[in-house]
Structure 1
Amino acid sequence: MQSFNKTIAVSLVLAVMFATSSFTVNMHFCCNELVDIAVFTKAKVCDKAMDTQDNSSKECSLEKKGCCDNKSFVKEGSDNFQKNSFKTENQNLVFLHTFFYTYVNLFEGLEQNIIPFRDYDPPLIPKDFQVLHEVYLI
């Protein structure tokens, strides 16, 4: 249960961090194929290494000027969180103090299991009183 709570807390922190951060993804396409992708930096343009590859499309080649294309995806972070003021009164402080004190002490257990009657023997029963008085539990 404790690991589940930690997992949920970490995932919520990551969700808030992702929602408030902004980043840019740059992509470079040549002949409608993705050549390079970069996050936070510019994507590298295609070089003459693609010139040696066999193009399946005859109308798209590196010599054409309009064949390569750069595209960007911009994710802007939001900064519209409500800032709440936390005003406390004396009654609220007493309640919070009592609540946290009780909650912390709730999970403090004994280090070992203490059995107060471990060293005492049970009383000796000289006669079986149920048989003697013929009283049986049914």
Structure 2
Amino acid sequence: MIKGLQKITSLLLACLVLLSTFSFTVEKHYCGRFLVDVAMFSKAKDCGMEMMDHIDDQNLEIKKKSCCKDEVIVFDGQDELKISFDQIDFPQQIFFVSFLNSYTNSLSLKKERHLIYEDYSPPERVPDILILHETFLI
């Protein structure tokens, strides 16, 4: 049971490391206030109502506001997985070292049982002659 739990935990931690370094984008296309398309890893399709952004009329440029809007959400993954010991400030370093020291010392302490009869050997076993020869008085 413990081995299975350790395997499941290690698999979950490996997936956590993989997902924390994974980065992706989500693009959304809105037409007015309505969501038309959502796409991951690619460009969202437009609604087909894209109009000309500007109208040229004798060197007069009038910009027309489009009803469509694109929204891009970028999820950046973690670049550096290992925090170096120099990036941790001094009180955290002291706490880490003292915690590690006390944890390893608590694991190395074994409960020693001192037995009083440890130095003495047991007496020799004297077999019962009647049981040895299987002679019983009936």
* Shorter-chain TM-score range: 0.3 to 0.5
Give the helix-richer structure, 1 or 2. Answer: 2
TM-score w.r.t. structure 2 length? Answer: 0.43
Give the strand-richer structure, 1 or 2. Answer: 2
